[in-house]
Structure 1
Amino acid sequence: MSFKEIKNMLRMINIDMNDIYAYRLFKECDRSNNDRLEEHEIEEFCTRLMERPELEEIFHRYSGEDCVLSAEELREFLHDQGEEATTQRATDIIQTYELNERARQHNLMMLDGFMMYLLSSAGNILSQAHTEIYQDMSQPLCHYFISSSHNTYLTDNQIGGASSTEAYIRALMKGCRCVELDCWEGSNGEPIIYHGHTLTSKILFRDVIVSIRDYAFKHSSYPLILSLENHCGLEQQSIMARHMKSILGDMLLTQPLDGDVPKQLPSPEQLKWKILVKGKKLPDGKSDLDRVNFIPNPEEESISSLQEIKPLQAKDAIQISRELSDVVVYCRAVPFQSLSSALRNQQSNEMSSFSERKARKLIKESGNQFVRYNARHLSRIYPQGLKVNSSNYSPQEMWNAGCQLVALNFQTPGAEMDLNDGRFSVNGRCGYVLKPAFLRNTQSSFDPETPGRRAGQRPVALTIKLYWLFMARVKAV
Structure 2
Amino acid sequence: MWEKQFTYLSRRYQPDAVKTSNAANNMLVMSKAAFIRYLTSKTNSAIIPEPQNYTLNRPINEYIISSSHNTYLLSQQIASQSSIKGYISVLIQDCRYIEINCWDRNSRQPKVNHSRTLTASISFRKVIATINKYTFIKSRFPLWISLKVHYNPNQQAIIVNIIKEAFGSRLVTETLEDCNNKLPSPSKLIERILIKVKKPQIKKEPPASNFRGRRRGNSFNSPLTRSVTKAAMLMPSQSLPHSLMRGPSPSYHRPVRKTHINTMTEGGVRDRTSRSASDNNSGGEQNSQKTSTKIIKELGDLSVYYSGINYTSFNTAAAKQYNHIFSFIESRFTKYSHTKEQKIAVNLHNLRYIIQVYPNHTQITSNNFNPLLY
Q: TM-score, normalised by structure 1?
A: 0.51
Indicate conservation of the 8 Å contact 1:173/1:215, yes or no. yes
Q: For residue 337 of structure 2, what is the aligned residue in structure 1?
A: 363
Identical-residue share of aligned pairs (%): 33
> What CA deviation, in whole Å up to 9, does each residue of 1:203-240 have, x standing for no partner?
11111111110111111111100011111111111111
| Alignment match, 2:158 | 239
TM-score, structure 2 normalization: 0.64
Question: How far 1:193 sits from its partner (Å)?
Answer: 1.0
Residue identity opposite 2:306 in structure 1: C
Say whether residues 1:373 and 2:339 are aligned partners.
Answer: no
Conserved in 2, the CA contact under 8 Å of 1:231 and 1:318? no
Question: Within 5 A, what are the aligned runs for 1:37-436?
Answer: 83-87=12-16, 124-126=45-47, 128=49, 130-134=50-54, 136-258=55-177, 261-262=180-181, 264-282=182-200, 299-301=265-267, 319-341=294-316, 345-365=319-339, 366-398=342-374
- Counterpart amino acid of residue 340 in structure 1: N
Cα distance in structure 1, aligned partners of 2:99 and 2:78: 17
Aligned to 2:240: none
Hey, what's the Cα distance between the residues in 1 that align with 2:118 and 2:46?
43
Listed one character per residue, the Cα deviations across residues 310-357 of structure 1 (whole Å, up to 9, x for unaligned) are xxxxxxx97111221121100001111112336x85211011100101
How far apart are residue 389 of structure 1 and its match? Answer: 2.3
Q: Which runs of 5+ in 1 are unaligned?
A: 1-78, 91-114, 287-296, 303-316, 399-477
User: 8 Å contact 1:233–1:318 — kept in the other structure?
Assistant: no
1:90-133 residue CA offsets vs partner (Å, 9 max, x unmatched): 9xxxxxxxxxxxxxxxxxxxxxxxx9x997969845454x3435
Greater helix content:
1
C-alpha distance in structure 2 between counterparts of 1:323 and 1:118, whole Å: 56
Code of the aligned partner of 1:278: K
Matched residue pairs, number?
268
Residue type of the alignment partner of 2:299:
L
* Counterpart-to-counterpart distance in 1, 2:132 and 2:10: 46
1:301 is displaced (CA, Å) by 4.2
Which secondary structure state, in structure 2, belongs to the residue aligned with residue 230 of structure 1?
A: strand
Residue number in structure 1 paired with 2:4:
none
> What SS does structure 1 have at the residue aligned with 2:310?
coil
Q: Which residue number corresponds to residue 286 of structure 2?
A: none
Q: Name 1:290's counterpart in structure 2.
A: none
Deviation at 1:392, TM superposition (A): 2.5
**Matches of 1:158 and 1:182, distance apart in 2:** 12
Task: Determine if contact 2:143/2:193 at 8 Å carries over to the other structure.
Answer: yes
Shift of residue 200, structure 1, vs aligned partner:
0.9
1: CA distance, partners of 2:345 / 2:154 = 40
Unaligned runs of 5+ in 2: 1-7, 20-35, 205-262, 269-291
Provide Cα deviations, 1:228-263, integer angstroms capped at 9, x if missing partner.
Answer: 11111111111111111001111111111128731x
Q: For the residues of structure 2 that align with 1:141 and 1:171, how far apart are their CA atoms?
A: 20
